[in-house]
Every structure is written in structure tokens, then in C-alpha cells.
């Protein structure tokens, strides 16, 4: 549709130019010699020049061209809205997929964590202490908190005193050095 509108505009513009050239050519032949400035001031005001055919054509087609432009812009807006809705639907689908993936991952991590806790709980306290002393602090604290108190205390008893104190303070929630000194 926009190609049709563009072709109509080109045809209208070409028609206007052709009519202006024709009218300008005939007017140039019928022109009188220019008047002197003094005579021009003394001459009475001339009546308004009537519209040429090309000007009348352009004036008459202006409303139709405006309507066609508005219709074309409306069509483009509808097409853009459709593309936007499709993109939103695709993003929502991907968001649902991502949420499902995160839920599966969390379930898997929970199962793995429970298995690690049960494995460490069944180990001898000296072996468990060696394992937990080399793991990250957060992971070791998480395991110790999930173990039964008796098993966790036996493991902490077998650890190096500085590491055991550090894990115990983290389990209690003391992370500020000032609070650690007071304890």
C-alpha cells in the first residue's frame, strides 16, 4: 500500500510541475515590460492572482494524501504492535523456562546437600573434620548446622581450634570482628 501511495505522490508532483511549467511558459509570453518604481507606486493594487491548475490540483489532493498518510501510519503502528506482542510472548515463555530450570537446580542442590550431610554424618569425626577444614566456610557451616548436635560437636572437637572457633562464630551469626573480640 505504501508503494502505491508513493507512486501517487510522485505522479501528483510531476503533474503539478508540468502544469506550472506550461502556465509559466504562457505567462512569460504575455508579460508586459516591467514598470518603473515610480509608476509601480502610483499604480493601484492589482487583484489577487487566481490559482493555477497545478495549484488547484495540489490543493484538492492534499486531504486525500493526508488521509492516505494517516492510514499508512496506522498500518505501520499495527504491524509494530503485533511484532511487540510476539516479542513479549517470547520473553514470557523464556522467563517460564528459566524459572523451571532454577526450580530444578534448587531441588537438585538440596538433594545433593542432603546427601553430603548424610555422608559426613556417617564419617568418623577425624575424617569429617579434615574434610570440613578444607571446604569453604559457608559450605562447612551449612553442613554442620544440618548435622545432629552430637555429631557436629564431635567433628568440631577434632578440628584445629582456630578453624573450629571460626566456624562456631559463623554458625552463631557473629561476623563483625568487634563482636568476635567480645565473645
Nearest alpha-carbon partner for 52 in 94, 106, 101, 15: 15
Give 59-116 pLDDT, tens digit per residue. 888 898 899 999 999 999 999 999 999 999 999 999 999 999 889 888 877 777 788 8
Three cell numbers at 26? Answer: 504562457
pLDDT of 9 strictly over 80: no
CB burial of 112-126 (b: ≥16 within 10 Å; e: otherwise) equals: eeeebbeebeeeebe
Task: Name the pTM for this structure.
Answer: 0.40
Element (H, E) at 176: none
Amino acid at each position: 500500500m505504501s508503494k502505491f501511495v508513493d507512486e501517487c505522490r510522485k505522479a501528483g508532483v510531476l503533474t503539478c510541475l508540468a502544469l506550472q511549467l506550461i502556465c509559466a511558459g504562457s505567462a512569460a509570453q504575455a508579460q508586459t515590460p516591467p514598470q518603473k518604481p515610480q509608476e509601480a507606486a502610483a499604480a493601484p493594487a492589482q487583484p489577487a492572482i487566481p490559482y493555477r491548475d497545478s495549484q488547484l490540483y495540489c490543493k484538492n489532493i492534499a486531504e486525500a494524501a493526508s488521509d492516505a498518510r494517516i492510514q499508512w501510519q496506522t498500518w505501520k503502528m499495527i504491524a509494530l504492535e503485533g511484532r511487540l506482542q510476539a516479542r513479549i510472548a517470547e520473553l514470557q515463555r523464556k522467563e517460564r523456562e528459566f524459572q523451571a530450570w532454577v526450580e530444578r537446580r534448587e531441588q537438585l542442590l538440596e538433594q545433593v546437600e542432603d546427601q553430603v550431610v548424610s555422608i559426613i554424618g556417617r564419617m568418623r569425626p577425624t575424617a569429617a573434620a579434615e574434610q570440613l577444614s578444607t571446604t569453604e566456610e559457608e559450605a562447612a557451616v551449612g553442613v554442620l548446622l544440618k548435622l545432629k548436635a552430637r555429631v557436629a560437636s564431635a567433628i568440631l572437637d577434632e578440628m584445629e581450634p582456630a578453624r573450629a572457633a571460626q566456624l562456631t562464630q559463623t554458625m552463631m551469626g557473629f561476623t563483625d570482628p568487634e563482636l568476635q573480640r567480645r565473645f
